[in-house]
Structure 1
Amino acid sequence: METCTSSVSIFTDWLTQHLEELVDDLLSVIGRDSIAASPLYGDPALQAVLRSETTLLVARIFKELESGLPSTVTSPEARHIARLAALHGTPLDDVVNAHWEAYAVVQDAYFRAAKEAAIPPDSALQLLRSACRRLLEHTSGLIDTVTDEYMEALRNNETDENALRLHAVQAVLNESGAQVGQAPYDLDAEHVAVVASGAAARAVSAYARERGPYAVATFVDEDVVWAWFSSVGPRQVRDAVLARTRSGEMGIGAAAKGVDGFRQSHRQAQAAYRVCGQTDQTGTCFADVIPESIALADLDSTRGLVQRQLGRLALDGTREAVLRETMVVYLESGQNARAAAAKLGLTERTVANRLQAVRTLLPPSAEPSSLELALALRLMPLVRRNGGARTRRADPVPAG
């Protein structure tokens, strides 16, 4: 019994350590097969909600397994996902299929855990039998729970004002309608779209109410808002929201006219929101982050660009970070070392020494004054955030 308890602990420790990787795999599978067309997968704010709730749900299953006492997993996260799916028109069959696909991904992780955690064969066999049986029971129970919650949400959505407004908005976005039903909003106007979450979402909603007939906003989750504004520019929207709060995340599209502009600005707001999530900004206008939004759409190519242009300057060390910052300020200062030194609070000689150190780290083909190098430096934080930088020992920063 002691060996069994020890094996369970080792097994669940391995699963917990690999939880984030497992959730990545799980969402990749269901996004490819079951809910690819759903806003739950396509919208960055809703995708973040789905990821958070899925992580908590899987962690609950691991915790129940670790306890050694078989019990029903009660999951508010599964209920939340069901309500979201109903609100956004994701078919119930797709939601159920997503649970079975998730079951297969987690079961594969169980077998990998038993192998990589080096659990003795006899204990591993017994453990896997128990774990897979309980996982099957949990999945069946969760599907029952989700089905009930989904059907109840559908009934509630038939009379909920926010849900009706969202469905009218979705009809326009999906090119199946040309009117935003419950809202007195002119689709022929010039639109600025917003996607926001957290405190920023509440501030956007409040600002939309103030704008009256010149705005429409709808909660697409308990803490996420989609909105459109007319007769106001992107930066005015940003400033109005940030005057209310500096918390949450918000992406703002460029102004665009008519029904096509309504859709285009929304896509841009989603892209800007995705950049917010990668750069820890509260509010971002699409026009200010076009390179970053393109880079996030193809991270492999972005990593290649950064590595080709920066070479060893892309290493994840304190020295390289200081040198990159110096190079960014130098380029922003029109390649004027004196101006860069003033901005950095350094002597001109120190800046010159750092620039010389930068040149020794760059690939021979890189041009220190090129637009490509400036772009690589700008995109470097995104690459680091997504696991693209290499680590190294600390080296001294050149001094004056």
Structure 2
Amino acid sequence: MRVTRCTLMSRAQTPLRLANAACHSTSGALLQVLANGASLEDIVPTTEVILATRALVQNGFSDDEVMSGYRVGTAYWCEIWASAVDEYCPDPQLSVRVASYGTSLALGWLEKVIGQVVADYRDEAARMSREGSVARAAYVRMVLAETDGDLDTATVSKDLRYDLTGRHVAFVLNRHADSRDDTPLDPIALSLAIGTTASAPLIVRVDLDTTLCWVPTDEIRALRVPNAPVLIGRGRPARGLDGFRRSYREASEAVRVARLAGRAAATVTRFDDVEIVALCSNDAAFCEAFVRDKLGLFAEDTDEAHGLRATLGNYFASNCNFRATAVRLGVHHNTVRYRLERIGPLLGRSPEQNRLHLELALHLADGLGLFADAGIAADSHS
């Protein structure tokens, strides 16, 4: 598929041209009011004034700059009016009245319409932000989906204003299921990124409940996780455009596992810690059935079953050494022997038989939070 460059913003007009357009529209509106003898109560911004304001917004002028421009322009218009009165109205008494009338009208016009101009400015800015966010998200989705090599890394980097040639770490932020807050997740992503590296991140809002974030870094410092109603999945550092995609896929899988496991809000789940769980849990029901089948009678939510699972997991982690297992658990090694003797009959075989399946079942039970004692602590993922 041939990919054409996505233009995120139209080419900017020159500031002088925009300023001239705004001045002409404002002067025309004031002259029309003067010619028609309209009262201040009847004054509204003309279509030309509104379009001029929108053009300023679309080309990056701030609201302070736009409002300052209107104020300076109105003051200058008053000076021109006073000069014209001096030139064409020789009667002193009449000239004072005419000058006062024109100045009062201009200042009244400014006071009357500036509120509406501000409102229109903000409406236009909000519209552009929404459309820009949608276009940016669509472009990023295209970049993530395109895998046939047609994309030019330099072009994509320029379009996104983010260097894709280095190494990145992706984060996927997903609003927690228990949250009743619909605040955008972008500020949370920015806070997370700032705590990670000094480099500028790429933040993309996919929808109200999902935001993506890429941080250009080769090494993640200790994360400062915002206290917010959000689950965060973290991919591994990877280089270039392929790494951009791969780290995102890993972060997506990590946050999917976090949702399946019912993890608490403000939890960061690293793909490194849940890779096997992610690979095995695309069919969550089948995965749980595997766990319960392999664990047999000690796949129960009781204190005894919890102790047996903890003992067996640490026994495998200690390379099936009784004393090393006892040290890890903080118990006597005979206690370990007793518990393992209890496990054999419950399994119907020695724990060492089919060790791979049994160890995998324990890992999946923990990663998916299938039992009350399961689940990986949030601080182990940061």
TM (norm. structure 1) is: 0.50
Distance 1:253 1:342, change over 3 A: same
Contact 1:195 1:251 in 2 (8 A): yes
Shift of 1:338: 2.4
Distance 1:166 1:177, change over 3 A: farther
Shift of 1:187: 1.9
Tell me which of 241, 244, 249 is aligned to 1:267: 249
Distance 1:269 1:248, change over 3 A: same
Shift of 1:357: 0.5
Q: Match for residue 165 of structure 2?
A: 188
Distance 1:298 1:366, change over 3 A: farther
Matched letter for residue 136 of structure 2 = R
Contact 2:365 2:371 in 1 (8 A): no
Structure 1 residue 163 corresponds to structure 2 residue 134: yes
Contact 2:235 2:271 in 1 (8 A): yes
In structure 2, how many angstroms separate the alpha carbons of the residues matched to 1:382 and 1:207? 24
Distance 1:157 1:363, change over 3 A: farther
Matched letter for residue 216 of structure 2 = S
Distance 1:332 1:169, change over 3 A: same
Tell me which of 345, 348, 352 is aligned to 1:363: 348
Counting only pairs closer than 5 Å after superposition, residues 67-146 of structure 1 correspond to structure 2 as none
Distance 1:163 1:157, change over 3 A: farther
Structure 1 residue 333 corresponds to structure 2 residue 310: no
Structure 1 residue 258 corresponds to structure 2 residue 235: no
The number of equivalent residue pairs is 232
Q: Match for residue 224 of structure 1?
A: 210
Shift of 1:184: 2.0
Distance 1:195 1:385, change over 3 A: same
Contact 1:308 1:363 in 2 (8 A): no
In structure 1, how many angstroms separate the alpha carbons of the residues matched to 2:351 and 2:199? 53
Structure 1 residue 373 corresponds to structure 2 residue 358: yes
Distance 1:386 1:219, change over 3 A: farther
Structure 2 runs not aligned, ≥5 long: 1-122, 177-184, 373-382
Shift of 1:274: 1.0
Contact 2:165 2:241 in 1 (8 A): yes
Matched letter for residue 232 of structure 1 = D
Shift of 1:299: 2.9
Shift of 1:246: 7.7
Counting only pairs closer than 5 Å after superposition, residues 272-311 of structure 1 correspond to structure 2 as 272-279=254-261, 280=263, 282-311=267-296
Structure 1 runs not aligned, ≥5 long: 1-151, 388-400
Contact 2:298 2:305 in 1 (8 A): yes
Matched letter for residue 161 of structure 2 = P
Q: Match for residue 174 of structure 1?
A: 145
Higher helix share: 1
Q: CA RMSD in A?
A: 3.6
In structure 2, how many angstroms separate the alpha carbons of the residues matched to 1:277 and 1:339? 34
Q: Matched residues, percent identical? A: 29
Q: Match for residue 62 of structure 2?
A: none
Q: Match for residue 119 of structure 2?
A: none
Distance 1:165 1:209, change over 3 A: farther
Provide Cα deviations, 1:275-309, integer angstroms capped at 9, x if missing partner. Answer: 12233161122122111101211334423532443
Secondary structure at the aligned position of 1:193 is classed as strand
